Amino acid sequence: MEDLMIDQEAVTLDDCIQHAREVLNEQILHIKGKGYDFAPQFKEMTIQLYLVGVMWRFYEEHNSSEMAREKAFSTLCSMMVKDGIKSKRAKKQVDFLKKMSKLEDGDDALAIAIGHESKPGDESLAEIFDHYVDEIGVSGSLWRHYDLGKKIILFGGLLMGFAGVWFVTIFMPESSDMFILAFGLLTAFLFVISVSLIGLLIYRLKFKKGKHSETPPAV
């Protein structure tokens, strides 16, 4: 009897994953031509939360309403593992999604709520993304600038550090090793600070200004 229950749970889990894949494939077709430009991490998180909502509804409709929401998260974890993600990383991601699944007032996040209420043939995933189109903080453009800035800071900082060490070694050969190292670190630090301030200025001028310009004046 116990083995039969375990087998049934495994079948239900597989059916839920298959259902989620079918829903996702259908929804992806609806958003392909919309030209959304979101940060990859945000897009991935939104889709995963949406799938949790879809799975939650699936379990409710298959006589598992008592723990349906929790089962949805564990099933998403199983789905991620089946897709080749390491178990430890999948569990960590699911724990993160659980934290993001609730708003401060206790309501479910938009992606989960809409996923839970989605129906075959609708464009519910696009509805979620439409809600965030004007949110600068999750835009792909901001993410690309941030990613480029990290690379500039990392490689530029290393280069400036070596340049500082080289400068002192060539033009101040009597300097101690400690002074040479300190000068190199200081050079790298000043470069990092300068680039960070420039990046912050670009963000305020380009992204903040762009957001304000899109806001219609009050009438």
- In this structure, the number of other CB atoms found within 10 A of the CB of residue 61 comes to 11
pLDDT classification of 1: cutoffs 50, 70, 90? very low
- pLDDT of residue 218 exceeding 70, the answer is no
Mapping DSSP onto H, E and C, the string for 83-100 reads: CCCCHHHHHHHHHHHHHH
- Ramachandran region of residue 197, left (φ > 0), alpha (ψ -120 to 50) or beta? alpha
Interatomic CA distance for residues 219 and 216, integer angstroms: 9
* DSSP letter string, 46-70: HHHHHHHHHHHHHHHTTT-GGGHHH
Identify the pLDDT of residue 215: 40
Q: What is the pLDDT of residues 95-147, one digit of tens each?
A: 999 999 998 888 999 999 999 999 988 999 999 999 998 887 788 777 777 78
User: CA Rg, the chain, in Å?
Assistant: 25
What pLDDT does residue 41 have? 92
Burial class (CB in 10 A: 0-12, 13-18, 19+), 201: exposed
What are the sequence ranges of the domains in the chain? 2-133, 140-213
Report the distance separating Cα 208 and Cα 214, nearest Å: 10
Q: Is the pTM of this model over 0.85?
A: no
Region of poorest pLDDT, from 94-103, 135-144, 180-189, 192-201: 135-144
% of the chain residues with pLDDT over 90: 52
